[in-house]
Amino acid sequence: MSDATSISSKTIEDFFCDWESQAFGYGYGTGEEHTLKVLKNLSDAVEWNESGDNYTYDYQKIEKMLGEQQTWLLINILCGNGDIEYGSSPRYGWFYGRGKNLINFLKQHTVGELYDMTSRDSGYSHCFSDYCSCGYEQLHQRCKNNPFWNDNNNFELIGMAKESL
Ligand SMILES: [Zn+2]
């Protein structure tokens, strides 16, 4: 595999790999199939909200589908990672912009496909929260090219995400 270090060579799969690595990142080939399955289940449990142009959730519905433990671990991680937005309480949150890109992407891929995207050899160059390997630059924010880290960016890369267009 090439080291994929120019902007034009990073694919949507690469950006998902970078997102997963920052949000979770300690699976080491063993844990990912489980965390990705929970994420996939979450994408099935959220509801499209046309008027808000976002996906919303009710924590009780998520709890019924994923169980209380998985639900609240996920809400904590995704709030901390900036994927979930909420008003007075994350019991009722939403996925907009980067979060919506993420849900759309999860919906369109199987767990096996997502797993393959996160399985990289040591030659792959991740973008991190403070370093962009596609632009070779030190950052004070996450890679600006990644549509899972930015609200309105690179929509052509997720052209299959109908709600975003
Ligand atoms: Zn980058």
Taking only the tens place, the pLDDT of each residue in 74-118 is 999 999 999 999 999 999 999 999 999 999 999 999 999 999 999
Q: What is the mean pLDDT of the chain?
A: 87
Give me the helix-helix angle, 12-23 and 111-118, nearest 10°: 80
Is it the case that residue 132 has pLDDT exceeding 70? yes
Residue 51, classified by CB atoms within 10 Å of its CB into exposed (0-12), middle (13-18) or buried (19+), is exposed
* Predicted local distance difference test score (pLDDT) of residue 4: 45
Higher pLDDT, 146 or 4: 146
Is it the case that residue 5 has pLDDT exceeding 80? no
C-alpha of residue 127 to centroid of ligand 1, in Å? 5
Which residues, in sequence order, are CB contacts of 161 under 8 Å at separation 6+? Answer: 100, 101, 104, 105, 108, 155
C-alpha of residue 138 to centroid of ligand 1, in Å? 10
Is residue 21 one of the residues assigned to a domain? Answer: yes
Provide the whole-model pTM: 0.87
Number of domains in the chain: 1
C-alpha of residue 39 to centroid of ligand 1, in Å? 23
Positions of E strands within the chain: 47-49, 54-56, 85-86, 93-95, 131-132, 137-138
Is residue 2 one of the residues assigned to a domain? Answer: no
Is residue 138 one of the residues assigned to a domain? Answer: yes
Is residue 1 one of the residues assigned to a domain? Answer: no
Is residue 104 one of the residues assigned to a domain? Answer: yes
* Structural domain for 14, as ranges: 7-164
C-alpha of residue 151 to centroid of ligand 1, in Å? 15
- Does residue 149 contact residue 142 with C-beta atoms inside 8 Å? yes
C-alpha of residue 105 to centroid of ligand 1, in Å? 19
3-class secondary structure, 129: coil
C-alpha of residue 7 to centroid of ligand 1, in Å? 7
C-alpha of residue 133 to centroid of ligand 1, in Å? 5
Is it the case that residue 47 has pLDDT exceeding 80? yes
C-alpha of residue 21 to centroid of ligand 1, in Å? 13
Is it the case that residue 139 has pLDDT exceeding 90? no
C-alpha of residue 18 to centroid of ligand 1, in Å? 9
